[in-house]
Structure 1
């Protein structure tokens, strides 16, 4: 493969700025076609983003031989269907997070991947942002010593503004999202724990619908032990007052601590010797670094920036703490 020619299935809001424009900005990458069931919206997207082809049927896009990679940007309920079809066509796949509705579906995707010649990357894009690459280096360099434990807190009011705006709030439809705001936002934190600190060994959790604002669990409480012995605690609540809003990841080490916001842009390092705040500016197309890494992987120039197995482990962890 000399170039990656993309087709997007599901050119909705997430692809307008966060991801879509990046495909034409990266060397060796070109956006050839988009698909959306609404013909007018598909045509409009293609015109505005200068995409040569548009479809209302995903099968027609998949049957286009000039396309060798598929970006699945639909809600999770259709990830499995489109991933299986793309892999059967031996087309490389970049699939939005969460990887699927649950770990059972994620495992089906992995099984299909094993019988395909195609590659697959999960769009846990924060891994490739400079902020989190710097965070990983801080941990590797033992800036706060040996890591002891991690505390995750994401507290939001019922109509959180962290999520992208969509015409239909599918995230509160369990059959489409897999379980609510937790399933849309927690993958960011849980994947970063995996990426920064390693795989989990044990986990336990509780989930409940307290406010009854939507027919989904609006609070999830999880306890996680990593294989290396690091202890993690996570609290996700989407039912608090606006004065209680919090987005914080705190990593405690033997000689200090690091505090940051997963959806923010700065890292605070606090040790007995110094206090430092590092500030970052995220790219306009925030998925650009991850898509660039994915293109290089598809072209055989680097390792997979986020494998299907890693996507599965995040799904398994989510299933465990919400049962």
Structure 2
């Protein structure tokens, strides 16, 4: 489903639950109440306007019950079908690891519930395509938690770029380094490609790649190479890439998660200056022009996903639109797949 199709579907009154017209409040259910839902996302569904969190599900019923108690959620389940069948749940947030995103999203859409799914959208482009096809069949919107698209920090970046603060953009570079993570007897799921789709590159770099899509436009050409330096799992830990956006912007990226330092840099270069910022930090933006260097404060919100959650609720209640959809997120999946294609073949990594 392309952008035009998504716009066509989401422009109609949201036909979810038992409602024929937009509702005043979206009642959410969460599938998978793990760590990400504790502070980054879960409270956002309770604090957003016209939004309520009414049910949560986790296969471990005791943990689901504990989450519901601690967060004042009325109901909990240990079975996804029970939550999907709850008539008081209007829309579903899927916060499980990526290997189950496709399955839960399709089931939720078939149950008549719009979906907001964690990033990455799925492990591969093919799985993303199946999710979009299910949304098309159900005539329901599908949203993805690339929440940087709505964060005030990066809204400021976009305003500067769109306003011509550095002239015409013609290049960018990305660097993201972290030391090799300590791994015990059990390799974390984020480093197990069968579950996550890859390693920290898939988990972290997808945020930056999606943000660049939002800031500069879709990537039109991409070439890359991936290696496994640390050997702590089958996941890639060092990736390089070259990019072209449209016909006039080129870029490079280097991601190393087996380094001896932490580094987090995005630099966008224009004809009249440059703009530097980090994807994961909160230090000021650094704008360089002929007038000198200016630092611009751009902190995170208390609940980082809340601005995007609000945008999703706005779309579902007919008063706005979300900047992050399945149609935009699949472009990031295609870029990730292109960068890792040779690596996955070399290591025999296949996905259903």
- Whether the aligned pair in 2 keeps the contact of 1:297 and 1:305 (CA below 8 Å) is no
- Report deviation, 1:64: 0.5
Q: What are the equivalent positions in structure 2 for 1:299-314 lying under 5 Å apart?
A: 299-314=317-332
Unaligned runs of 5+ in 2: 1-21, 342-352
Shift in CA distance, 168/209, structure 1 to aligned 2, threshold 3 Å: closer
Please state if 1:38 is matched with 2:55: no
Q: What are the equivalent positions in structure 2 for 1:137-216 lying under 5 Å apart?
A: 137-159=159-181, 169-216=188-235
Please state if 1:267 is matched with 2:289: no
The corresponding residue for 1:89 is: 111
Unaligned runs of 5+ in 1: 161-166
Using the size of structure 2 for normalisation, the TM-score is 0.87
Separation in structure 1 between the aligned mates of residue 67 and residue 41 of structure 2, nearest angstrom: 13
The corresponding residue for 1:286 is: 304
Q: Which moved more, 1:35-44 or 1:277-286?
A: 277-286
Separation in structure 2 between the aligned mates of residue 305 and residue 141 of structure 1, nearest angstrom: 19
Shift in CA distance, 300/228, structure 1 to aligned 2, threshold 3 Å: farther
- Whether the aligned pair in 2 keeps the contact of 1:10 and 1:34 (CA below 8 Å) is yes
Q: Aligned to 1:125, which of 122, 134, 147?
A: 147
SS of corresponding position for 2:309: helix
Please state if 1:223 is matched with 2:242: yes
Separation in structure 2 between the aligned mates of residue 159 and residue 276 of structure 1, nearest angstrom: 35
Separation in structure 1 between the aligned mates of residue 58 and residue 247 of structure 2, nearest angstrom: 44
Please state if 1:57 is matched with 2:79: yes
SS of corresponding position for 2:259: coil
- Report deviation, 1:168: 7.1
Separation in structure 1 between the aligned mates of residue 173 and residue 240 of structure 2, nearest angstrom: 11
Alignment RMSD, CA only? 1.2
Using the size of structure 1 for normalisation, the TM-score is 0.95
For residues 279-320 of structure 1, give each alpha carbon's deviation from its aligned partner in whole angstroms, at most 9, with x where no partner exists.
122111111101011100111211232121111100000000
Q: Which moved more, 1:277-286 or 1:54-63?
A: 277-286
The corresponding residue for 1:163 is: none
